[in-house]
Structure 1
């Protein structure tokens, strides 16, 4: 068996901390040789604060599946970024269909972020490695593991659907926040694809994977895994594909489930 868990809204509490109960059960999993993989929309540069709370750094599928990361060696095992020509096509389509959209990109395998000067920065600057640019063209010159789209305050489901329709055939669009931020990856790149690559490397079939999540960007992973578990605070789309719904992230839903299956 392998455990794959999302971070924000699933393993982490609202204050971005890992509870003592969750830390303890992850240590039990390690002692029982049960592999645990973090599968997150976060880029590599956002993982430091998570690893600071873990006794043993866990491997991570980052940027919604675009990067597979080994923290023990600080090594990217696999990256599947958007190429510059793909970024240019995405920017062209968005300019036509959503002219008010402003963009940012995660580059250098997610170790750095570049954003248009008009892109509204929120929590992004807390993690460093951020640069503002004056022209959209400056965002399109190097491969990006994720492109971020904002257009003012939007209903997240509706805006994600609009961007997805606009980029159909050239990129994947999803969301994991309530602020109207849409996350764009290369065509075929999802949490499911990144996790499948990692599991294949270990020789673990999908049927042996239990996955936990809470937001639409987790849906492909949950649909792929042998057992899909939604936390109680999950988006309706996540609960719809889940085999089971456990307690919320604030109530240690992942930890409670793992306690029930660990020896």
Structure 2
């Protein structure tokens, strides 16, 4: 961890932007009492806290009670801004065009045979028959990605916030590089899972670009933002923020990109830095 004497912290940050899984949350997916107290203290001191995550809005119950003041969170790697005080009401959506998504599916099938897909809409997830099962939604449609992306009625025409691509054999970083080479000119492609699972958004959509929009609306500059993250989908946010921290458990690329380092998520690394910030005010 960066020591207090050489910490890159700004004199008075106005916003803290933190990833959730592997960053704010412990590995068993809970927010520790220490972190809850630190988040509340930051808000009380006038520092806004934004949760910025790859999770869809429907998976935000774990932190819903810890959003103070504004109540907003950035979900789906920047594709959606939701008001958690209003039951997950969508404030902003930056969708992935369906035709573009079909092009990406075809490109990845060509360069990485065996890839399977899931389609995350604003209303829920749908997936291919061979896609790895995970927290399956009771109302999910199971069909080919091409069929899932073909809107046939009002319900199926809901905005696409993310396309997920999974490969059973390729190394995660290798799959990411391959996909960006094949389709990176049509969509934003990243990853946050330890497996070969890619997250695909509209071109230019990222945690950083949506956070920048939210900050601009508040008159907050990047120099006034402190960001935390652990995986490649955090990289743009960490390099955009004036001050950034990689978790002790972070991906090597994140450790190299961040301006500072804290301890692991299981050691409350975000809370450690927030406490340091508040001690300086």
What SS does the corresponding residue of 1:149 show, helix, strand or coil? strand
Task: State the TM-score, normalizing by the size of structure 1.
Answer: 0.93
- The 5 A counterparts of 1:146-161 are 146-161=162-177
What is the RMSD computed on CA atoms of the aligned residues? 1.5
**Higher Cα Rg: structure 1 or 2?**
2
The answer to whether the 8 A contact 1:112-1:129 is kept is: no
- The 5 A counterparts of 1:48-63 are 48-52=61-65, 54=66, 56=68, 58-63=71-76
- Post-superposition shift, 1:33? 1.8
The answer to whether the 8 A contact 1:160-1:182 is kept is: yes
Instruction: Quote the residue 1:258 is aligned against.
Output: 274
Runs (4 or more) in structure 1 with deviation over 3 Å come to 55-58
For residue 113 of structure 1, the aligned residue among 113, 125, 135 is 125
For residue 92 of structure 2, the aligned residue among 78, 85, 110 is 78
For residue 55 of structure 2, the aligned residue among 18, 34, 42 is 42
Instruction: Quote the residue 1:9 is aligned against.
Output: 22
- Post-superposition shift, 1:95? 2.2
CA 1:258–1:129: 2 relative to 1, 3 Å: farther
Structure 1, unaligned runs of 5 or more: none
Instruction: Quote the residue 1:100 is aligned against.
Output: 114
CA 1:30–1:116: 2 relative to 1, 3 Å: same
Residues 155-181 of structure 1, C-alpha deviation per residue, up to 9 Å, x if partnerless? 111111111111121011111011111
- Post-superposition shift, 1:36? 0.2
The answer to whether the 8 A contact 2:57-2:75 is kept is: yes
- Give the Cα–Cα distance (whole angstroms) in 1 for the partners of residues 163 and 138 of structure 2: 16
Aligned length: 257
Structure 2, unaligned runs of 5 or more: 1-13, 151-156
What SS does the corresponding residue of 1:217 show, helix, strand or coil? helix
Higher relative contact order at CA 8 Å, sep ≥6: structure 1 or structure 2? 2
CA 1:166–1:130: 2 relative to 1, 3 Å: farther
For residue 133 of structure 1, the aligned residue among 142, 154, 172 is 142
